[in-house]
């Protein structure tokens, strides 16, 4: 993978501000970097597997990424991402102070809320202040100290400490909300006013069928970037088993799957196409490094060698295997370190590492997970008896949070975006859902984690992040079994999918980046 190959310098804007130059790193995605010109369409029906809740930043469903991505069509953020990196959005330009503690954003002209009122710097400053009291569940703004209006159309956000991920993770994810709606709202979780979904995004909420989890969005004619190409966007809740069939029967236009063989299933259908995303989903074993025998690195390595991860991946994804990166970061993503030890399948080496000792290890896994059924015979062959305990997601969440486990099989998205998650997973105090079960103490790793978060320079940060991946590969506090792509089945006559650099939001492999619906 080329990694960070192209860098682009955006000039800081002149004026009374401390004019520091800001660098934005842009790296091409491995595939689908260049997007075809998006098509125009009167109506696109998008299917997702679960209900997204009420589309406001405070009431959106906390189950799955469907809600957060839906919000991105209704609301705008200061920055955004295209196929190659971070791009200006509501902020037409920005500058960071030399110490990395303050970011000054100059907003675009002509942005308005869906009710016609102008979007101002006051709204932006208000949003960060409001999120400090009422957190946005999808992205914490804890790093933000304060936000204030510098002059008309200009906002300065001050951080508690330098945070390299700020532009991508906070400025690019946290929706800016209208001050005139929320200012007087004390309990945003319960707020039911008719103006609660007013944003500034390219689409406005027209109807929400709560019972069926269906949303009808209409184009925002006065959108500051121009009239959206898609006139109406619907998000519908369709159970996983009906997704592909629904798009085949014309009930929806875009549907989702994780199974590569959808290509064969659709091979006779000239009307539909399949869009495969970068492998932003990870299926991994979380390891409790404080429980014997897993406190010995030899045992952890033996497990890695004993598992034929290629075969597990091929069997379950029905696609060419993308064997898990032992440094957690998936291949084909911007921060992947390609020179890590591969831990190829080698049962003899596993037996050597175990030195003839037998172990019995407990694994907690989802009731439907098939990986344990494949892993059991492989581990048995090297002298490890795997006892599988089936639990549901919430039970697993609790066990992992409390550290009450030995091995846990977990699969999730959220890798591939800004690599700060490598720090957060093992930082301990943060109860990050993706980080659940990450029990690993390593002084060098912790220090490097702090270091990269405070390093704005991309090249230096990259070196640190690569070293962190090396430590993960040596110590194996988690073993990535494989990475998954999402396969989106769509009708090319109405929808043009788009790959986003490192995934939408925080590594979400959805194809509906709003750029593809608005045009560039």
Which residues from 427-456 bind another protein, rule CB under 8 A?
A: 429-436
CB-CB contact of 501 with 84 (8 Å): yes
Chain residues 163-202 in contact with another protein, contact rule CB under 8 A: 189-190
| β-pair partners for 144 | 159
Say whether residue 270 binds another protein (CB under 8 A).
Answer: no
Tell the smallest beta-carbon distance from residue 169 to another protein (Å): 11
CB-CB contact of 391 with 418 (8 Å): no
CB nearer another protein, residue 95 or residue 375: 375
CB nearer another protein, residue 136 or residue 336: 136
Chain residues 84-123 in contact with another protein, contact rule CB under 8 A: none
Alpha helices in 329-430 (DSSP H): 347-354, 371-380, 393-402, 421-427
Say whether residue 512 binds another protein (CB under 8 A).
Answer: no
* Among the listed residues 23, 50, 146, 442, the single contact to another protein using CB under 8 A: 50
Chain residues 121-150 in contact with another protein, contact rule CB under 8 A: 134-140, 142
- In angstroms, how far is CA 426 from the centroid of its own chain? 18
CB nearer another protein, residue 281 or residue 496: 281
Say whether residue 373 binds another protein (CB under 8 A).
Answer: yes
* Among the listed residues 96, 111, 236, 499, the single contact to another protein using CB under 8 A: 236
* Among the listed residues 104, 154, 288, 410, the single contact to another protein using CB under 8 A: 410
* Among the listed residues 5, 62, 360, 493, the single contact to another protein using CB under 8 A: 62
**Distance between CA 308 and CA 209 in Å, rounded?**
46
- C-alpha closest to that of 307 among 377, 399, 406, 214: 377
CB-CB contact of 133 with 187 (8 Å): no
CB nearer another protein, residue 156 or residue 484: 484
- In angstroms, how far is CA 131 from the centroid of its own chain? 20
CB nearer another protein, residue 93 or residue 259: 259
Tell the smallest beta-carbon distance from residue 388 to another protein (Å): 6
Tell the smallest beta-carbon distance from residue 138 to another protein (Å): 6
- C-alpha closest to that of 126 among 187, 179, 72: 179
CB nearer another protein, residue 331 or residue 397: 397
* Among the listed residues 64, 162, 293, 492, the single contact to another protein using CB under 8 A: 64
Tell the smallest beta-carbon distance from residue 145 to another protein (Å): 14
Tell the smallest beta-carbon distance from residue 72 to another protein (Å): 15
**Distance between CA 311 and CA 215 in Å, rounded?**
40
Question: What is the 3-class SS of 243-296, one letter each residue?
Answer: HHHHHHCCCCCEEEECCCCHHHHCCCCCCCEEEECCCCEEEEEEEECCCCCCCC
Q: Binding-site residue total for another protein (CB under 8 A)? A: 97
Chain residues 201-230 in contact with another protein, contact rule CB under 8 A: 207, 209-214, 216
Chain residues 241-260 in contact with another protein, contact rule CB under 8 A: 241-246, 248-249, 251, 256-259
Q: Is 362 helix (H, G, I), strand (E, B) or coil?
A: strand
- C-alpha closest to that of 418 among 143, 232, 158: 143
* Among the listed residues 16, 186, 270, 368, the single contact to another protein using CB under 8 A: 368
Could you count the other beta carbons within 10 Å of the beta carbon of residue 356?
7
Cα separation of the two ends of the chain: 27
Chain residues 382-401 in contact with another protein, contact rule CB under 8 A: 388-401
């Amino acid at each position: 993978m080329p990694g960070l190959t192209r860098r682009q310098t955006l000039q800081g804007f002149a004026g009374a501000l401390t004019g520091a130059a800001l660098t934005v790193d842009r790296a091409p995605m491995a595939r689908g970097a260049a997007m075809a010109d998006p098509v125009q369409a009167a109506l696109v029906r998008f299917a997702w597997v679960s209900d997204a809740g009420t589309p406001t930043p405070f009431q959106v469903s906390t189950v799955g990424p469907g809600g957060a991505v839906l919000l991105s069509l209704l609301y705008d953020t200061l920055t955004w991402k295209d196929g190659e990196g971070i791009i200006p959005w509501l902020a037409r330009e920005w500058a960071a102070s030399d110490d990395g503690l303050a970011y000054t954003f100059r907003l675009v002209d002509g942005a308005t809320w869906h009710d016609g009122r102008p979007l101002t710097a006051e709204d932006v400053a208000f949003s960060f202040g409001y999120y400090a009291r009422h957190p946005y569940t999808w992205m914490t703004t804890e790093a933000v100290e304060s936000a204030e209006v510098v002059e008309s159309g200009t906002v300065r956000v001050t951080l508690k400490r330098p945070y390299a991920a700020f532009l991508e993770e906070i400025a690019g994810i946290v929706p800016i909300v209208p001050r005139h709606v929320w200012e007087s709202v004390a309990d945003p979780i319960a707020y039911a006013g008719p103006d609660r979904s007013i944003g500034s995004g390219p689409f406005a909420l027209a109807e929400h069928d709560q019972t069926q989890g269906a949303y009808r969005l209409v184009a925002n004619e006065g959108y500051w970037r121009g009239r959206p190409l898609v006139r109406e966007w619907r998000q519908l809740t369709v159970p996983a088993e009906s997704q592909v069939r629904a798009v085949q029967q014309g009930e929806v236009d875009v549907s989702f799957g994780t199974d590569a063989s959808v290509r064969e299933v659709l091979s006779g259908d000239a009307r539909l196409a399949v869009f495969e995303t970068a492998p932003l989903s990870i299926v991994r074993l979380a390891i409790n490094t404080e429980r014997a025998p897993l406190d010995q690195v030899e045992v952890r390595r033996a497990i890695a060698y004993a598992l034929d991860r290629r075969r597990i991946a091929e069997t379950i994804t029905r696609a060419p295997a993308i064997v898990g990166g032992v440094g957690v970061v998936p291949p084909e993503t911007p921060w992947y370190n390609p020179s890590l030890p591969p831990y190829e399948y080698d049962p003899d080496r596993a037996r050597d590492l175990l030195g003839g000792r037998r172990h019995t290890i407990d694994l907690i896994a989802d009731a439907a997970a098939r990986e344990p059924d494949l892993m059991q015979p492989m581990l048995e062959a090297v002298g490890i008896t795997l006892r599988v305990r089936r639990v549901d997601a919430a039970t697993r969440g609790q066990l992992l949070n409390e550290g009450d486990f030995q091995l846990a099989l977990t699969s999730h998205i959220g890798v591939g975006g800004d690599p700060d998650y490598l720090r957060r997973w093992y930082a301990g105090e943060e109860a990050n859902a993706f980080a659940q079960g990450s029990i690993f103490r390593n002084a060098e790793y912790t220090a490097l984690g702090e270091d990269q978060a405070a390093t704005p320079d991309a090249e230096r940060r990259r070196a640190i992040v690569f070293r962190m991946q090396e430590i993960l590969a040596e110590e194996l506090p988690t073993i990535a079994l494989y990475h998954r792509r999402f396969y989106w089945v769509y009708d090319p006559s109405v929808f043009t999918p788009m790959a986003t650099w490192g995934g939408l939001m925080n590594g979400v492999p959805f194809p509906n980046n709003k750029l593809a619906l608005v045009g560039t």
